[in-house]
Amino acid sequence: MKTFIVGGTGFLGYYTVRELLARGHEVATIALPPAPPEGVLPEGVNVTLADLNQMPDEAVLNMLAGVEGLIFAAGVDDRIVPKAPAWDFFYQGNVVPTRRISRLAREAGVKHMVIFSSYFVAFNRMWPELKMAEAHPYVRSRLAQIEAAKQEAGSTLTVSFLLLPYIFGSTPGRVPLWKLVITYLNSKLPVVFYPRGGCAMVSAREVASAAVRAMEVGENGAEYEVASDNLTWREWLTRLMALTGKQKPIWTVPDWMVRLGARAVMASHRRKGKESGLDLVAYVKVQTRMGFLDTEKSRQTLGYDKGDLDMALEETVKACI
């Protein structure tokens, strides 16, 4: 199958391109310049270095000519703290480009599209009492992104979504986003302080495998929860410390103290004219819950192998140290 991936030089794009090639697909990609570090893109991948959002429709349609499967591995995530109001930034970063690429994919005759989305979509469904779409601009953008893609896909383009939690792995020449956590665990502090709760976690290889299978056999409008394991924060930190060679006691920070810290961070953002995509005080109610996903349903439905989370954690730690 002739396939196209938006964001093929990124973290998840790195793994997804390789999975596509391993399954015999022809691969082309577009990514923002500059050129990626050596080793990121294998030979045989047709890469365009450009800003998709700045390209005219005709140029995008030409790139998608003959493409049957498209994977959208771009967009902006909740780690970015933009200038206020945050909604404008996340709407422009997630909703607008998704609506456009969905429309152009349909017009170009693409048959299957997969969009990388967020586990917050699942949490919004699981915990309606938290009203996450109202509280968090980032979550609202992810929900709007899904609706925009469905509206533009029409009856000829099958579009499905991967709901992704904490992701681990490494790529050549790049430091994982978990660097701050590893540095904290590796510090001289005798104790690790962390909130209660836990989260679903996944290896980047499993994400890639799920993405390719969703492109091949995914159902229209389906939202696939993709996770290797569900871990409490204590279990996660213990595994990471074992890989750093340091073992420390973990003290659970009470919720009120976590909220106090969140208020301080939000006050700092306001002074700088910025706003997070997550209301950090309201987010404490999410962070301190067991944010677990179904680790089996999507795997059985799509027919891909479980990722090795321990290997991905080890690769992450090695790349951070």
Q: Which residue has the higher pLDDT, 174 or 310?
A: 310
Q: Quickly state the pLDDT bin for 233 (edges 50, 70, 90).
A: very high
Q: Which residue has the higher pLDDT, 39 or 8?
A: 8
Q: What is the pLDDT of residues 127-159, one digit of tens each?
A: 999 999 999 999 999 999 999 999 999 999 999
What confidence score (pLDDT) does residue 34 get? 86
What confidence score (pLDDT) does residue 38 get? 78
What confidence score (pLDDT) does residue 40 get? 81
Q: Please, what is the Cα angle at 37 between 68 and 209, to 5 degrees?
A: 40
* E strand map for the chain: 2-6, 26-31, 46-49, 69-72, 112-118, 158-164, 166-168, 192-195, 198-203, 223-225, 229-232, 250-253, 290-291
Q: What is the mean pLDDT of the chain?
A: 96
Q: Quickly state the pLDDT bin for 57 (edges 50, 70, 90).
A: very high
Out of 145-149, 233-237, 243-247, 260-264, least confident range:
243-247
What confidence score (pLDDT) does residue 249 get? 97
Residues ≥6 apart with Cβ < 8 Å to 92: none
Determine the average pLDDT of the residues in 267-275: 98
Neighbours of 51 (CB within 10 A): 10
The yes-or-no verdict on residue 39 having pLDDT over 80 is no
What confidence score (pLDDT) does residue 45 get? 93
For 160-172, b where at least 16 C-beta lie within 10 A, e where not — what string? bbbbbbbbbbbbe
DSSP-assigned states of every residue in 172-184: TT---TTHHHHHH
What confidence score (pLDDT) does residue 125 get? 97
Q: What is the pLDDT of residues 159-188, one digit of tens each?
A: 999 999 999 999 998 899 999 999 999 999
Residues ≥6 apart with Cβ < 8 Å to 241: 185, 192, 247, 248
Determine the average pLDDT of the residues in 22-48: 89
Neighbours of 33 (CB within 10 A): 10
Q: Which residue has the higher pLDDT, 30 or 174?
A: 30
The backbone region for 109, taken as left when phi is positive above 0, alpha when psi lies in -120 to 50, beta otherwise, is left
Percent of the chain beyond pLDDT 90?
94
C-alpha distance from residue 235 to each of 91, 180, 232, 314, 321 (Å): 35, 18, 5, 15, 21
The yes-or-no verdict on residue 251 having pLDDT over 90 is yes
The yes-or-no verdict on residue 37 having pLDDT over 90 is no
**Domain-wise residue ranges, the chain:** 2-320
The yes-or-no verdict on residue 43 having pLDDT over 90 is no
Does this model's pTM top 0.75? My answer is yes
Q: Among 117, 163, 110, 184, which Cα is nearest to 144's?
A: 117
Q: Among 149, 63, 157, 136, which Cα is nearest to 101's?
A: 149
The yes-or-no verdict on residue 35 having pLDDT over 90 is no
In CATH, the architecture of 2-320 is 3-Layer(aba) Sandwich (3.40)
Q: What is the pLDDT of residues 1-14, one digit of tens each?
A: 999 999 999 999 99
